[in-house]
Structure 1
Amino acid sequence: MNVPLWPLAGLFLAISVSAHAADAAAVYSKGGTNPAAMACATCHGAEGEGMAAAGFPRLAGLSANYMRKQLADFASGARANPIMQPIAAALSHEEADAVSTMLADKPQPQVERIDRTALVDGPGESLALRGAWDRNIPECVACHGPSGTGVGDAFPPLAGQSAQ
């Protein structure tokens, strides 16, 4: 009996690929396979909401491509941070991809729309809406969008993040 083996080879390939796929929830809550890849939830909160008092940003709802890029930049040293660099370097590509995708699927906090023509109240609001052109600093909303809600993968939302 002459049975083609290619369908069986395809099945084994599919099984091996899925067996190597990273479990995003496990990596996020318990850490990666490398012990140096600490659990993301330790600093960024159980649902990616961040920990404002400690200065750890919200990750929930950010673009998956943006988070992948930041993790790659931390891992390579292109983005400096003494906490994130060793953790990002310890994550496998699959783990970083899985966690980025999982966090992107989480909801972002609701934010109020800001009227850019309103009177500004305080230096933070002034910087966000008007910039500090005497120091060559454009207004935050020019890049990060109306109300700081983000623009595509290049400019993440600032709204809903802590001021730390």
Structure 2
Amino acid sequence: MRMKSMVLPMMCLIAMLLTVMSRPAQAQDLAAGEASFQICKTCHGQKGEGQLALNAPSLAGQFDWYLERQLKNFKEGIRGADGKDIYGSQMRPMSLTLADDAAVKNVVAYIKTLPSAKVKTTLGGDAAKGKALYVVCATCHGQNGEGMLPLNSPRLNNQHDWYLLRQIKNFKEGIRGKHPKDIFGAQMVPMAMTLADEEAMKHVIAYINSLDK
């Protein structure tokens, strides 16, 4: 009898769980996201293409999960809090204009609708030499710089070379990736150390830029 009395509640619980799991994910509000993006586009451009003059990277074409994580990192002071991270510190107050997780998801959903633009080479560098150096990067970021969700690695092949150079330097100099809560950023620090100097950085970035086709 006791076993039978437990069956019905268990069946009800399973039914409730299946109902919750079968519900479609809540759709993001693109209109709200576009409204929030009005602040973002001041620096990142009308279509999220990025602007060198304002040191703002390209957003269009990047993974939504990566953009969400970086916005949350800025909001929580995990990124952009280091006194030497001049441009990162400019992003922190911008991220705080997004009131909550829903607002973050909305603006990222809108960014996801923007077309990815081909980036221009500005640094020089030898792509042939960079190809050999990129072998280490490919382990996480993919053979074509396409990024990998299972390894929490962002897409690289649609990003401006000047931004990539600055971030590699930031990782190498401990400006980024040192916060105890920046788990994935911390993984990049030893990878940046494999590049001996700025010349090596420019070579590998030149190769990454060659993958943007």
Q: 1:126 aligns with which of 112, 125, 129?
A: 129
Cα distance 1:122–1:139, how it changes in 2: closer, same or farther (>3 A)? farther
Long gaps (5+) in structure 1: 1-17, 30-38, 112-120, 133-137
Paired position in structure 1 for 2:144 = 147
Deviation digits for residues 3-57 of structure 1 (CA, Å, limit 9, x no counterpart)? xxxxxxxxxxxxxxx9x9971111101xxxxxxxxx0001111011111344311
Number of residue pairs matched by the alignment:
123
Q: Report if aligned partners of 2:148, 2:154 keep a CA contact under 8 Å in 1.
A: yes
TM-score using structure 1 length = 0.62
Q: Report the 3-state secondary structure (helix = DSSP H, G, I; strand = E; otherwise coil) of the residue aligned with 1:40.
A: helix
Q: Report if aligned partners of 1:55, 1:162 keep a CA contact under 8 Å in 2.
A: no
Distance in 1 between the 2:108 and 2:54 partners?
22
Q: Report if aligned partners of 1:52, 1:161 keep a CA contact under 8 Å in 2.
A: no
Paired position in structure 2 for 1:95 = 103
| Cα RMSD, aligned residues only | 3.1
TM-score using structure 2 length = 0.49
Paired position in structure 1 for 2:33 = 24
Decide which structure has greater helix share.
Answer: 2
Q: Report if aligned partners of 1:22, 1:95 keep a CA contact under 8 Å in 2.
A: no
Q: Report the 3-state secondary structure (helix = DSSP H, G, I; strand = E; otherwise coil) of the residue aligned with 1:65.
A: helix
1:75 and 2:75 correspond? yes
Q: 2:91 aligns with which of 81, 84, 107?
A: 84
Long gaps (5+) in structure 2: 1-26, 81-87, 163-213
Q: 1:108 aligns with which of 116, 120, 123?
A: 116
Distance in 1 between the 2:95 and 2:79 partners?
11
Write out the 4+ residue segments of structure 1 that deviate beyond 2 Å after TM superposition. Answer: 52-55, 105-111, 121-127, 129-132, 138-142
Cα distance 1:144–1:23, how it changes in 2: closer, same or farther (>3 A)? same
Q: Which amino acid in the other structure matches residue 107 of structure 2? A: V
